[in-house]
């Protein structure tokens, strides 16, 4: 019995430690890539910023699947039991959205802007108890070239 509790605490600590390290690295890379692509506007409206001189347009997309670590699953289970805001998953979704948008921007090489951008999120790899194993986010829009 005591061994199981110790093993659980060790796994929880390892999950928290490695999850935090990986998340911080990913956030650092995201910030750097966002700075590099800040020149490419991404807008949700259907109308381009400047309708004149459009040479071509095409669909661009970016998709990402991010896994949930054991620590986040544990914290989310506790919060679901007691009720409240699941902040552990909010950071996961934020990272996934930002990564999907960056991948979409990378798909739109040399575009002037990306319009009509949409972002869709879904949970995948649920197990029998309906716990989320991973989250998929896809961002897509129309790249405008001048």
What is the total count of domains within the chain?
Answer: 1
For residue 126, the enclosing domain spans 2-145
All residues at 6 or more sequence positions from 64 whose CB lies less than 8 Å from its CB, including other chains:
96, 99, 100, 103, 136, 137, 138
Q: Return per-residue pLDDT of the chain as tens, 146 residues.
A: 788 888 888 887 887 788 788 889 989 999 999 999 999 999 998 888 777 788 899 999 999 998 776 666 666 666 667 777 767 778 888 999 999 999 999 999 899 999 999 999 988 766 655 666 778 999 999 999 98
CATH code of the domain in which 84 resides = 3.30.110.70
Q: Are 30 and 102 in contact (CB under 8 A)?
A: yes
């Amino acid at each position: 019995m005591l061994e199981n509790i110790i093993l659980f605490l060790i796994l929880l600590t390892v999950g928290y430690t490695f999850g935090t390290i990986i998340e911080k690295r990913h956030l650092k890379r995201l910030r750097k890539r966002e700075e590099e692509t800040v020149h490419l506007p991404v807008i949700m409206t259907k109308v381009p910023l400047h309708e004149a001189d459009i040479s071509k347009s095409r669909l661009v997309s970016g998709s990402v699947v991010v896994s949930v670590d054991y620590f986040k699953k544990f914290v989310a289970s506790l919060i679901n039991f007691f009720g409240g805001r699941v902040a552990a998953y909010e950071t996961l979704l934020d990272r996934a959205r930002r990564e999907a948008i960056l991948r979409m921007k990378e798909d739109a090489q040399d575009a002037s802007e990306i319009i009509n951008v949409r972002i869709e999120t879904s949970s995948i790899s649920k197990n029998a108890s309906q716990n989320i194993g991973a989250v998929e986010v896809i961002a897509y829009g129309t790249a405008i070239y001048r």
